[in-house]
Structure 1
């Protein structure tokens, strides 16, 4: 049975309220046909990302629009130069990230990451490394993925990888491979499953791009 907007909004608010690092009084929630819009203000960028992550596995959430703003207290406001130095140091401490391939720019607390990496997990690790840094208001990811191994992707390999995930029903997911791009289509039952399928596809050797057209549909 499809959830009403009011029921889904209540569940989203309960999930946010349950998360210790979030203040539900500061986050506004609106729901329309499974699309959840988050607004309001939080104290740091990590809270902004956590609010989004917290509601991804709620049944009925088809998409999330994150309009939450980061309103830093005066005590944690840093200059762009200070933030840039902290970002570079954080990236250097993550051995999985070839940080010499990344360019960091900061403007008004917003960090932009440019460059070329071989794996998507390296791109995710780069953002995770800086999400807790003081003074960061947001991250703009302009990183390009170019696989180090130049080989042809195979549809069967991708499908087998998706089957190994216990949260996915591969029978409802279609895979198409064209050159260095993996195309995903079909139906999943949650936004979390949609992101899980994309994450698995990105782990395929040789992939440069994942086009995720999976549709979230719930009972």
Structure 2
């Protein structure tokens, strides 16, 4: 089956095309300015061209459902739902935390812990088994301090994601490894999305909402006196 994968939950605007578990093409760019609204549809066009297929060849759309950037998730979800409605194909959703652990599985880590920056000292995080990739804790918004993750001080653990840099400065875990250059990526949606497709684990397109985890907090305008 041919699937269009979209991941816009972070600074990485990412699109991929797969055929089964084979990655055909990926287009992505990390930007500090969150350029999903500018880049997403161009990336979809380029990925389709690179995979040498058209929209009509697609069997499903998969989406990194979050948590992450509120605006990025809205843009990705709206686009994914639009493609599904227009093409009459199913929508598959995958927790974006799960896409961040893929490069580190079977690397002799006891645990892999994604950390997505949520501003100040807060991160979105979950704990995964380093071998099986099984999610061991619920995804949560966590404020980091010196006592965070102390239960892993005697384990081989790696923290991954753009929240890892601030974690490295404050966590009292001298044996832990940190990789802050990993972002949720559409290319790591392929395996999970293929499994869900084969098991008919589809979303209700009409009612699907991204996994925001927290309510949107905009800047309140001051009332005129």
TM-score between the two structures when normalised by the length of structure 1:
0.26
Identify the structure with bigger relative contact order (alpha carbons < 8 Å, sequence gap 6+): 2
Structure with greater helix percent: 1
The structure that has the greater radius of gyration is 1
